[in-house]
Amino acid sequence: MSGGAVVPDVLAAVDLGSNSFHMVVARYQHGQLLILDRLREMVRLGAGVSESGRLDDEAMARALRCLERFGQRLRAMRADSVRVVGTNALRRAKRKRWFLERARAALGHPIEIISGLEEARLIYAGVAHTSPMSPDKRLVIDIGGGSTELVIGEGFTPLLLESLSVGCVGSSAFDDGRISEKRFERARTAARLELEPIQEAYRKMGWLQAFGSSGTVRVIADVLRRLDPEDSHITLPNLTKLAERVIAAGHIDELELPELDAERAPVFPAGLAILLEIVENLNIERVRVAEGAMREGLLYDLMGRFTDEDARVRSVRAMELRYHVDSLQADRVENTAVALLGQVEMEWGLEDPFAESALRWAARLHEAGLDIAHSRYHRHSAYLLEHADMPGFPREEQLLLAALVGGHRRQLSFEACEDLLPPWDRLAEFLMVLLRLSVLLHRGRSPQPLPEVQLRVKGRSLALELPQRWMREHPLTLEDLEQERQYLKDAGFRLSFQ
């Protein structure tokens, strides 16, 4: 998607959390998002991930039934653009391709698995866009099923982001339902160990107000309000009193708290322990309940992809600057790659707008590795793209860019494409070939524009046409094309040129 495109009338965001699945559908009107519908189901996918990373059958069945219902609603509401993300449970799960393919079929849309830092960025975006504007720093806390995100930001800009590997579903302290002071302390200790490496940086940066955006914080706020309407703020004293009451119950089945339903009860003690530890450890005076959360952040991020605010574009620009990419050379390769794509996209099935975006970004960053070393720089570039924090990019998109860049020169291998989700495991091969040809044609780094280049394809056969005079004047390019012909042949493509 490119900046400045028309924003679709109806957008939807689906958050596949470790505890609950959420969907929000909105209409774009007069530059604002009007919420049309919300759905939430307690799926507890994270509880179905074993120590070995295997997703159990019961958890997958619950998730797929939920996604079938979400898919029906999306189709009924005619959502024009949908973004679906998976978080901690799907990050931890191994051998999940079978599930992801069936989840895509049930929902009707692909699933992106995002990193913890990307989750934190989206959470902050959801809170920032649904809260009153303020120039002051704010701290956002989101206690999810499998992870807890902490973000300090100003306005719409996150300044400090962390994703902690502790959540209300992942905690083992209350697995059998029993609650005791010792078990509660164990849950707090787990949170404390995660907080310890980051607490000093957060205290040093500081904030004026703290917000909680998760279901855990909302339920705690509701319980406190019902228990004592005169003093219902989320503060350390009130959380401590609530913890004493929870411990006194002795078992999850004995919890008798207003506003706490049977679905939320099994994860409530762990969520309370995590929040209590955060509030005490970071010296937070009061936590306010935020209106927005990650699904709202997804909606605004999705809307930004049609305007001038696509976070992925900002990430690519930042990487260009950080790794001193030759922007003029990147321009040349990008323009040629996109021109070639326009000639073959129908035959190769590359009409998806993301195909063009991926090719553009790969062209712009294919030389990032030169900042490390010239030798095998394409491998360095691929490593950076695979492992860097790139706000806006889900894991699968980063892997696709890394595969394209890693295969843009020398011997051609599609091994990196095998782990991509369909259809990119197949289409990435074609994008890689287009990037290779574009880089080859600009190897001389000449500022002079290329003559008209014609590319015709049928299946895995390519015919490249360049003016004869230009070819005679560029004998090194001719030699490169001869070598490329062999590289492509070894990879199952046939290249002819004249």
The pLDDT tens digits of the residues spanning 313-371 come to 888 998 999 999 999 999 999 999 999 999 999 999 999 989 999 999 999 999 999 99
CA 116 to chain centre: 8
Strand partners for 163: 149
End-to-end CA, the chain: 34
The CATH number of the structural domain formed by 131-290 is: 3.30.420.150
**Rounded to 5 degrees, what are φ and ψ at 424?**
-75, -20
Q: Please state, in angstroms and rounded to a whole number, the distance separating the CA atoms of residues 314 and 320.
A: 10
Report the chain's C-alpha Rg in angstroms: 26
Q: Name which residue leads in pLDDT, 96 or 341.
A: 341
| Residues 247 and 184 sit within 8 Å (Cβ to Cβ) | yes
- Minimum mean pLDDT range among 70-84, 238-252, 318-332, 335-349: 70-84
Give me the numbers of helices (H) and strands (E) for the chain, helices first please.
Answer: 18, 13
The pLDDT, as a whole number, for residue 309 is 67
Average of per-residue pLDDT values in the chain: 92
pLDDT in tens, 30-69: 677 888 999 999 998 988 888 888 999 999 999 999 999 9
Average pLDDT over residues 242-252: 96
Average the pLDDT over 232-248 and give the result. 96
Give the tens place of pLDDT for each residue, 20-32. Answer: 999 999 988 767 7
pTM metric for this prediction:
0.80
More reliable by pLDDT, 292 or 432: 432
The contacts of residue 326 (CB under 8 Å, 6+ apart) are 367, 445
Q: What percent of the chain has pLDDT over 90?
A: 75
Q: What is the pLDDT of residue 311?
A: 80
Largest Cα–Cα separation, the chain = 88
- Candidates 368, 393, 350, 495; CA nearest to 436 is 495
Superfamily assignment of 10-113+297-304 in CATH? Answer: ATPase, nucleotide binding domain (3.30.420.40)
Does position 373 have pLDDT exceeding 70, yes or no?
Answer: yes
Cα–Cα dist 212/267, whole Å: 17
Cite the beta strand spans of 351-405 per DSSP E.
none
Q: 120 or 230: whose pLDDT is higher?
A: 120
The answer, yes or no, to whether residue 498 has pLDDT greater than 70, is yes
At 224, is the secondary structure helix, strand, or coil? helix
Q: Where are the domains of the chain?
A: 10-113+297-304, 131-290, 311-497
Token pair recorded at residue 68: 């079938």
Reply yes or no on domain 311-497 having CATH 3.40.50.970: no
29 or 11, higher pLDDT: 11
Please state, in angstroms and rounded to a whole number, the distance separating the CA atoms of residues 203 and 201: 6
How many residues appear in the chain? 498
Q: Are strands 287-289 and 209-212 parallel, antiparallel or unpaired?
A: parallel
